[in-house]
Amino acid sequence: MIDRRVPDDFPRELDLGSVTGVQPKVLVREVDGRYQSSLSEEQLWVRYDACEDLAAQLSAYVLRKNATSGLSTDVALTRAEKGVRLKVDSGDWDASQAEIAWVMKRAQELLLEKTGEIPGKSTS
């Protein structure tokens, strides 16, 4: 069975938006007879799961680049973040700035678990 708990530090942003027109409009959806502007538990889980998967892929990428091309962990992680931001900014990927920050922090945590080293910290 899959543990569907979302960590407390994962961003829970409001689903903000605007609609043009003469009268003010609020973007909400009706769930079980109540109007909500935030993500549902299912939507939050899907976003978290995608971000967790991306963090795992990025940490594996950084380790691979470190081993095959000699790039430092810092440089590889910085390049990976730049690539993620390019994908988000171009509209290819749907992620908020807070989610990107969380993904990069989580990738660092995963790297620490795998290597025992904190990216950006000198071991000398």
CA nearest to 109, candidates 118, 96, 100: 118
Q: How far apart are CA 22 and CA 54, in angstroms?
A: 41
124: in domain: no
Query: Is 19 exposed, middle or buried (CB count within 10 Å of its CB: 0-12, 13-18, 19+)?
Result: exposed
61: in domain: yes
79: in domain: yes
Number of structural domains (the chain) is 1
67: in domain: yes
Question: According to the model, what pLDDT value does residue 16 have?
Answer: 60
33: in domain: no
49: in domain: yes
pLDDT values of the chain reduced to their tens digit, one per residue, 124 residues? 567 889 999 998 755 666 677 777 777 777 788 877 777 888 899 999 999 999 999 999 999 999 999 888 999 999 999 999 999 999 999 999 999 999 999 999 999 998 877 666 654 4
Domain span including residue 107: 40-115
20: in domain: no
5: in domain: no
The Cα-based distances of 84 to 51, 112, 115 in angstroms read: 11, 20, 23
